[in-house]
Amino acid sequence: MDVTLAQDAAEEILHPLEIPNAGKDASTIAPWNVSEASKTEYDLNHALLREFVSNAQGDPKKVAVALRPILEAYLRVTCPEHYPPGTQLGAYITTARQVNPKPLPDEDFKELDKLRDYGNQFHHDSSTTWQENLANLNQTQLTGYAKRVLTFTRPGTRT
């Protein structure tokens, strides 16, 4: 049998499935979108910011809330030895500025401080007025900070 034909036949037969709950003591079998299921919170938040910045689409409140988690997830991947799980963003910045060699250039720490300060306005652990801050969002300012977070999380785009 031709290899191409065998692959085509296998693709027609193999379909990922999931068994979702369908109520109390019940479940079903349904097609499983593996690509969608593998998206992380970081992937979803980053896409939210890109759509907001590029097309002015999306909920500004969700964008504001996503700023800090995007920075945290990015730094956990790029600086894992200095940003283990459970570390707060401010503590990371303070500690990472003191190690040698520094994981980021001084200019990046300055930008990260500014991004953190803005994002903290919408973070429930950092601001007692976060809900009020979300209600009074300045969309122009938010767009500017969202662009800056996207730039910060794209290697090679910072100067």
> Between the ranges 59-68, 87-96, 149-158, where is the mean pLDDT highest?
59-68
Neighbours of 134 (CB within 10 A): 16
The shares of helix, strand and coil residues in the chain, as percent rounded to the nearest 5, are 60, 5, 35
Specify the pLDDT at position 17.
79
Average pLDDT estimate for 62-69: 96
Specify the pLDDT at position 158.
56
Specify the pLDDT at position 59.
96
> Which tops the pLDDT comparison, 5 or 110?
110
Label residue 73 by pLDDT band (50, 70, 90). very high
Give me the sign of the Cα torsion angle 120, 124, 126, 129. Answer: positive
Residue 20 backbone class (left: φ over 0; alpha: ψ -120 to 50; beta: rest): beta
Specify the pLDDT at position 11.
62
Show me where the domains of the chain are located.
3-37, 41-152
Least confident of 37-51, 67-81, 117-131, 137-151: 117-131
Q: Which residue has the tokens 């809900």?
A: 131
Neighbours of 130 (CB within 10 A): 17
